[in-house]
Amino acid sequence: MMTLHTSLQELDDLNKWGLNIFHVAEFSNNRPLSCIMFAIFQERDLLKTFRIPVDTFVTYVMTLEDHYHANVAYHNSLHAADVTQSTHVLLSSPALDAVFTDLEILAALFAAAIHDVDHPGVSNQFLINTNSELALMYNDES
- What pLDDT does residue 5 have? 44
Query: Residue 62 belongs to what H/E stretch?
Result: helix 54-66
What are φ and ψ of residue 116, in 5° steps? Answer: -125, 20
CA-based torsion, 51, 113, 61, 2: positive or negative = negative
Question: What average pLDDT does the segment 115-135 reach?
Answer: 76
Contact between 77 and 33 (Cβ < 8 Å): yes
Task: List, in order, residues 6 or more apart from 101 with CB less than 8 Å away.
Answer: none
Question: Between 27 and 74, whose confidence is greater?
Answer: 27
- What pLDDT does residue 44 have? 97
Residue type (1 letter), 102: D
Residues 49-93: tens digit of each pLDDT: 999 999 999 999 999 999 998 887 788 999 999 999 999 999 999
Nearest partner of 106 among 20, 28, 62, 43, judged by Cα: 43
- Going from the N-terminus, what domains does the chain have, and what CATH number goes with each? 4-137 (1.10.1300.10)
- What pLDDT does residue 3 have? 47
- What pLDDT does residue 73 have? 77
Nearest partner of 106 among 37, 55, 60, 53, judged by Cα: 37
Given pLDDT bands bounded at 50, 70 and 90, which one contains residue 142? low
Nearest partner of 93 among 37, 15, 11, judged by Cα: 15
Options 5, 23, 75, 88, the catalytic residue: 75
For the entire predicted model, the pTM comes to: 0.85
Annotated active-site residue 75? The verdict is yes
Cite the annotated binding site by residue number: 79, 115-116
What are φ and ψ of residue 50, in 5° steps? Answer: -105, 10
Question: What average pLDDT does the segment 97-122 reach?
Answer: 90
Cite the annotated binding site for Zn(2+) by residue number: 79, 115-116
